[in-house]
Structure 1
């Protein structure tokens, strides 16, 4: 059987998400299954090289996953013509410059979000990549979660009738670090290091909103630093300069209003860390990361407000589970396989750096809305000319 080797420069995969989702459950998983079968019957074999700043972490990670190559020199990795794809999962404030270097070296680019710390820089990456003729993509993992895929299936099947509203409760408690080990890195709470919940999560919400409801047309947002004193990984106290919660509303041309609460200072009382509720004239659905439940118009109870008696209605009992009807793979691996096919076979891959820039745009306008205390319209993006 004919084989094709694809060398992948993986920068920043020593972090939790980079290790678990991109290295372990995506690239190593593809390697361990013998590669990816292409449309013409050839096998695509992935050959990663790990890049980072900490040699000890890289060496341990390479040993753990049986990866032969690693380096602390990005320039050295980019200089090898046999490695044709560059992947970036670094800290936000390091990503854009590294992606620029990869584009200049002629590498195809696949990267995490946000693609840059501001919109101008995110659009510059689009312009540079297009001018260089390299292929590019941005991770849009939540589109491939089982719960979101079931929700989209319901929309495509006409379950909802006319769509009315879309709501999200997302988040969990991140420990301050004084008496309990923090469960998110401290840079997330330092605006000067690219931290902040809005820049972290609103690029996700942009592609979810655009693909589930339609193009977002305006945003109203309030962010807040609820807990200003935190302790870092070394136990040192620091002052949080980046918001730990955001309360956003989004409008669309079709009349739907979305309301998203995103928080690292909340204790969930729900089935999953995040739950989206979509209401329509004929039915409603609640989708988590994996599960999705529905209630149709005919099964909707008629509650009566009476605080003097116990509530007689079991509201949860009126919802039904949406069946899987298929096997759902890892969301990150699915998109990795799609991007690999895009590079090698020229298969379709619509989630490019321009889509990534839209996410940065929403985050930037949401922060502007917060500081100016008003609705902000979202214009179409224009890529800067050469």
Structure 2
């Protein structure tokens, strides 16, 4: 057995998602299991190098996990032993840092959105392509158990012809007055790259694209339901970014997808994210972990009668899709594929071009809302 150490500069992992999902539950989890084995007997050993702007926070995190750290991104990128640059910073800081990593010849794995606008996202994709570095964008929801079961149903032809997709995402994010907010305040400031459309439309783009087909048109309405919040110190501030987005996406083949995204909604569903897919032969409701189906042959025949209470146990009439497999952490599953791609040229297609499609959809969604009209989604040229 040969150990192949891969040093990874991780920028922005002092945040909740970067710390828990990417560092602890992905790369450190890989180390805990003895590394990532390849078919030839080589074992990939990830070696994170933590990078951030706040020395006390980065040092504390590095000390907790026994890792090296730095606040000097340029010095870390100049280290020839560092092969991969990972970015989980706030969106506004991502593009300049990724440009530096490309210039340093590092392979790239970045969170989305990859830039604050389409022009920047396309520029990063072209720069990475010209530099000949390998590049990837986190598209974690494709690796969630619920959506993997949904993928299995699609591959097996369960739905027949898919007719429509309905998505519900969100929860109530407290304003920060009588209960602390559970999301950072920059999410609600447009000047800092915040906004639910910019955050979530890139997710919806890759989910729809990968499972049902490319998005060809969008009509959206975004709004700021809660215009005043309090930040981490308790100081009031004006929310300048949208906290809810309601969108209709038109896909190849005539499939219509309507997705509501909101941080000002109280949850009355089984999971924080759910998609209902309806087809000629059957339907499914998929969440983060669960997936339930109703086939054409077992579909009940409700009759509309508002004068009498409904006696149909609608939720009980659906069948649970079994796991039939062990589902690992979604972020870790994609990290494993990217590491194999870098070290052994394994298959990979979730690149910066895919990330640019997500930024494009968010940009068009915001424009659609501002102009009050349906907008086509042009195919991006590489």
The answer, yes or no, to whether TM exceeds 0.5 is yes
Q: For 2:13, what is the secondary structure of its paired residue?
A: coil
1:9 aligned partner:
9
Shift of 1:59: 1.4
1:30 aligned partner:
30
Q: For 1:178, what is the secondary structure of its paired residue?
A: coil
Kindly report which structure 2 residues correspond to 1:162-311, keeping only aligned pairs within 5 A, or say none: 162-311=161-310
1:81-133, CA deviations, whole angstroms, 9 ceiling, x for partnerless residues? Answer: 00110000000000000000000000000000000000000000011101111
* Separation of aligned partners in 1, 2:252 and 2:268: 33
1:21-69, CA deviations, whole angstroms, 9 ceiling, x for partnerless residues? Answer: 00000011111211111121111111110000111111111122222x0
Q: For 1:298, what is the secondary structure of its paired residue?
A: helix
Q: For 1:233, what is the secondary structure of its paired residue?
A: coil
Q: For 1:34, what is the secondary structure of its paired residue?
A: coil
* Separation of aligned partners in 1, 2:282 and 2:181: 40
Shift of 1:253: 2.5
1:62 aligned partner:
62
Kindly report which structure 2 residues correspond to 1:27-176, keeping only aligned pairs within 5 A, or say none: 27-67=27-67, 69-176=68-175
* Separation of aligned partners in 2, 1:133 and 1:158: 38
* Separation of aligned partners in 2, 1:278 and 1:355: 23
Greater shift in the superposed pair: 57-66 or 121-130: 57-66
2:376 aligned partner:
377
Shift of 1:259: 0.3
Q: For 1:380, what is the secondary structure of its paired residue?
A: coil
Q: For 2:346, what is the secondary structure of its paired residue?
A: coil
Shift of 1:78: 0.5
Q: For 1:311, what is the secondary structure of its paired residue?
A: coil
RMSD: 0.7
Ranges in structure 2 where 5+ consecutive residues have no aligned partner: none
1:304-327, CA deviations, whole angstroms, 9 ceiling, x for partnerless residues? Answer: 122222211010111000000000
1:121-154, CA deviations, whole angstroms, 9 ceiling, x for partnerless residues? Answer: 0000011101111000000000000000101110
Q: For 1:247, what is the secondary structure of its paired residue?
A: strand
Q: For 2:165, what is the secondary structure of its paired residue?
A: strand
Q: For 2:254, what is the secondary structure of its paired residue?
A: coil
Q: For 2:298, what is the secondary structure of its paired residue?
A: coil
Shift of 1:301: 1.2
Q: For 1:7, what is the secondary structure of its paired residue?
A: strand
Greater shift in the superposed pair: 172-181 or 28-37: 28-37
2:319 aligned partner:
320
Greater shift in the superposed pair: 58-67 or 293-302: 58-67
Shift of 1:266: 0.3
* Separation of aligned partners in 2, 1:245 and 1:43: 44
Q: For 1:254, what is the secondary structure of its paired residue?
A: helix
* Separation of aligned partners in 2, 1:231 and 1:58: 25
Ranges in structure 1 where 5+ consecutive residues have no aligned partner: none
Greater shift in the superposed pair: 306-315 or 175-184: 306-315
* Separation of aligned partners in 2, 1:38 and 1:303: 53
* Separation of aligned partners in 2, 1:288 and 1:64: 33
Which stretches of structure 1, 4 residues or more, deviate above 2 A after TM superposition?
none
